[in-house]
Amino acid sequence: MQKWYTRIIGIFFVLVAASLIFDYSKFGYRLETWHKIFHVALGIIVLYYGWNNKKFWKPFSLANGAFFTVIALFGFVIPDFHGLDAFNRIDSILHGIVGVSGLLIGLLKK
C-alpha cells in the first residue's frame, strides 16, 4: 500500500501542472502560483526518488501524511488564509484525504 500511495500521490501532484498552467494563464502570477508549484515539484521529486525505492515509501507516507494532515487542519481552522486555494474548503478536504490516508498507510506493517 505504501508503494501505491507514493506513486499515486506523485502522479496526482505532477498533474497539478495542468491546473498551474490554466491558473497562470487566467490570473497571471499570484501567491497561489507557489501552492501549485509546490505540488508539482513535490510530485516530480516523489516520482524520481520514490517510484521503485522501497526505503522511500514508508517514510514518505508518514511525512507526507503528517504534513498534509496539518495543512488540512489549518485550512479548517483558518479557512481562506490569505486567499490561498490551499486553505479553502475543497482543498482542505483533499489535503485531509491525502494526509490521513498517508498516515494510516504509513503506519501499516508490511
Q: How far apart are CA 56 and CA 104, in angstroms?
A: 16
For residue 85, the model assigns a pLDDT of 81
User: Could you give the 3-state DSSP secondary structure of residue 71?
Assistant: helix
Residue 110 has pLDDT above 70, yes or no: no
> What are the pLDDT digits (tens) for 42-84?
999 999 999 999 999 999 999 999 999 999 999 999 998 888 8
Q: Count structural domains, the chain.
A: 1
**Domain region containing 89:** 2-107
Query: How confident is the prediction for the chain on average, in pLDDT?
Result: 94
d(CA 58, CA 108) in angstroms, rounded, equals 9
87-99 mean pLDDT:
94
